A and B are shown apart, each in its own frame.
Chain A
Amino acid sequence: MIGIVDYGMGNLYSVSKALERLNTPYVLTEDVEKLAATDGLILPGVGSFNDAMTILREKNLDDMLKQAVKDGKPLLGICLGMQLLFSESEENGFTKGLDFLPGKVRRFSGQTRAGIRYKVPHMGWNLLQYRQPAHPLLEDTAEGHVYFVHSYVVHVDTAEVVVATADYDGDVPAVVGRNHVFGTQFHPEKSSNLGMQMLNNYVAYVKERQVQMSDSL
């Protein structure tokens, strides 16, 4: 069972529909106990980092997520949900994130070093370049295009967490991960076959891990 964290931010419906297409049972809820009872979590979200962290704290979902990660439960953050996995964001001054992965979230400057203007948000289909091709999320996939919509970008403290990148005024971390914590900056649920395969890979990872964890008990 996958738990989709419903904290009122963004298009949760398309994520849940994507899981239905994959015949994966899920719960979509803000209830801490119900989420804690699942085998793996998805943290979606679009909008403001600051608003998102405020709501997560108000609903005690930040503590639930921290405990889940500590217990070894898989977590996938999507779009803003991926950015929330990092240490902090400069949006609206400074906001502390969930801090599962080391890095900071900053706005795209809108201008290259050479002074050439570029569009913000980074919106549309961009090509993935795999940095860790053996990563479980990339299994049975080839580098292809996925759909991005974001104005802020993660600056990682260590390249070790970068699984795949896309080029938009430099390397944009597009898939990140460390141990059982994953994130995609793009929307897999909107990225046609490639995105659906990655969601499928996450679901498979959750199932596999569940077997391993019950074996070790």
Chain B
Amino acid sequence: MLTKRLVPCLDVQEGRVVKGVQFVELRDAGDPVELADYYDREGADELVFLDISASHEGRKTMVDVVREVAGTLAIPFTVGGGINSVADMRQILRAGADKVSLNTAAVKDPALISEGSDFFGSQCIVVAIDAKWDEALQSWRVYTHGGRRETDLEVTDWAEEVVQRGAGEILLTSMDQDGAKTGYDLALTRAVNAAVSVPVIASGGAGSLQDFADVFLEAGADAALAASVFHYKETAVSEVKEELRKQGVNVR
């Protein structure tokens, strides 16, 4: 049986991991390669690197980071942030990433999803969706530009569209829950999961061990992404897995 995946997410700025792991004796806590290796040993199933560099130089540095990580890491990893064209995708995938994640660029130009999927295969095209509940409209709306801009897209409609266009996986972030550490948005995850045929990675809100169990058992997520709870060792990946096993969730 396929296992549920735990996915630590690392923010990279100008080639360095920021807000990285705070708790272990690492030679260099900002070194993406060392951190990737640490999470591999911890039992992480996949990694996501999010490039938050604003500069052109930072973007170029990211390609080197990807190449270095790919040279040592023996588990899959996804790269997101600043990928705006098929040429960007090619550069990152050629450098050794297994998947690329599109967010704002996919909303601006949905054809990019199918172009990428036709060219590289849908298995390496992840579409990231930032979702926020709209009380007036009584629905989740898609946000872009790192959550700063609201669109007129409804989340489950958009999710269906991106899959139809060739997305192989959806990385779904709840902006309402992100950073709150009170649990994943189960209703949102359930709604998107029911709407699409591809795997859904839930993101935003992980705080306790139970939060992980809930998103798998209650919302049917295929994978759970988290950043700060892993980096600050409020919960280690291995600890989360042990708890999941106890509750009957199939993990590696």
Seen from chain A, the residues whose Cβ lies within 8 Å of a Cβ on chain B are 10-11, 13-14, 17-18, 20-21, 46-48, 110, 117, 119-127, 145, 147-151, 167-168, 187, 189-193, 195-196
Known: A13-B95, A124-B199, A125-B2. A191 touches B74 (CB 8 A): yes
Cα A48 to Cα B2 in complex, Å, equals: 23
Cα A110 to Cα B198 in complex, Å, equals: 10
The residues of B that contact A11 with a CB separation of less than 8 Å are 93, 96, 98
* Identity of the chain B residue whose Cβ is nearest the Cβ of A45 in the assembled complex: B121
* Identity of the chain B residue whose Cβ is nearest the Cβ of A48 in the assembled complex: B121
Cα A196 to Cα B93 in complex, Å, equals: 21
Cα A68 to Cα B196 in complex, Å, equals: 43
Asked if B38 is at the interface (CB within 8 A of a chain A CB), the reply is no
In B44-91, the 8 Å CB interface with A consists of 45, 67, 70-72, 74-76
Cα A46 to Cα B5 in complex, Å, equals: 21
Judge whether B75 and A192 touch: CB under 8 Å.
Answer: yes
Judge whether B5 and A124 touch: CB under 8 Å.
Answer: yes
Which of A18, A46, A48 has the most C-beta atoms of chain B within 10 angstroms of its own C-beta? Answer: A46
Known: A119-B197, A121-B198. A196 touches B74 (CB 8 A): yes
Asked if B40 is at the interface (CB within 8 A of a chain A CB), the reply is yes
Name the distance in Å between A69's Cβ and chain B's nearest Cβ. Answer: 26
Judge whether A46 and B123 touch: CB under 8 Å.
Answer: yes
Asked if B252 is at the interface (CB within 8 A of a chain A CB), the reply is yes
Judge whether B74 and A195 touch: CB under 8 Å.
Answer: yes
Interface size class of B (residues with CB under 8 A): 20 to 34
Judge whether A190 and B122 touch: CB under 8 Å.
Answer: no
Asked if B11 is at the interface (CB within 8 A of a chain A CB), the reply is no
From the candidates B71, B93, B124, B197, name the one contacting A17 in the complex (CB within 8 A).
B71
* Identity of the chain B residue whose Cβ is nearest the Cβ of A189 in the assembled complex: B74
Cα A47 to Cα B121 in complex, Å, equals: 5
The residues of A that contact B121 with a CB separation of less than 8 Å are 10, 46-48
The residues of B that contact A18 with a CB separation of less than 8 Å are 74
B121-163 CB mask vs A (1 if < 8 Å, else 0) is 1111000000000000000000000000000000000000000
Judge whether B123 and A123 touch: CB under 8 Å.
Answer: yes
The residues of A that contact B76 with a CB separation of less than 8 Å are 147, 149, 187, 190
The residues of B that contact A47 with a CB separation of less than 8 Å are 120-121
Judge whether B70 and A123 touch: CB under 8 Å.
Answer: no
* Identity of the chain A residue whose Cβ is nearest the Cβ of B74 in the assembled complex: A192
B196-230 CB mask vs A (1 if < 8 Å, else 0) is 01110000000000000000000000110000000
From the candidates B2, B45, B70, B252, name the one contacting A14 in the complex (CB within 8 A).
B70
Judge whether B40 and A122 touch: CB under 8 Å.
Answer: no
Cα A151 to Cα B199 in complex, Å, equals: 12
Cα A154 to Cα B184 in complex, Å, equals: 37
Judge whether A124 and B74 touch: CB under 8 Å.
Answer: no
* Identity of the chain B residue whose Cβ is nearest the Cβ of A194 in the assembled complex: B74
Cα A102 to Cα B67 in complex, Å, equals: 38
* Identity of the chain A residue whose Cβ is nearest the Cβ of B3 in the assembled complex: A125
Name the distance in Å between A199's Cβ and chain B's nearest Cβ. Answer: 10
Q: Which 4 A-B pairs have the closest CB atoms?
A: A47-B121, A145-B252, A149-B123, A13-B96
Cα A122 to Cα B198 in complex, Å, equals: 9
The residues of A that contact B2 with a CB separation of less than 8 Å are 122, 124-126, 148, 168
Judge whether A123 and B199 touch: CB under 8 Å.
Answer: yes
Name the distance in Å between B174's Cβ and chain A's nearest Cβ. Answer: 20
* Identity of the chain B residue whose Cβ is nearest the Cβ of A146 in the assembled complex: B252
In B86-106, the 8 Å CB interface with A consists of 93-96, 98
In B151-185, the 8 Å CB interface with A consists of 168-169
Judge whether B98 and A193 touch: CB under 8 Å.
Answer: no
Judge whether B40 and A20 touch: CB under 8 Å.
Answer: no
Cα A190 to Cα B71 in complex, Å, equals: 11
Asked if B1 is at the interface (CB within 8 A of a chain A CB), the reply is yes
Name the distance in Å between B66's Cβ and chain A's nearest Cβ. Answer: 10
Name the distance in Å between B167's Cβ and chain A's nearest Cβ. Answer: 11
Judge whether B168 and A117 touch: CB under 8 Å.
Answer: no
Known: A14-B70, A147-B76. A167 touches B1 (CB 8 A): yes
For this complex, 9 residue pairs linking A to B, each with C-beta atoms less than 8 Å apart, are A13-B96, A21-B72, A47-B120, A121-B198, A124-B2, A125-B5, A147-B76, A148-B2, A149-B76
Name the distance in Å between B165's Cβ and chain A's nearest Cβ. Answer: 15
Name the distance in Å between B88's Cβ and chain A's nearest Cβ. Answer: 16
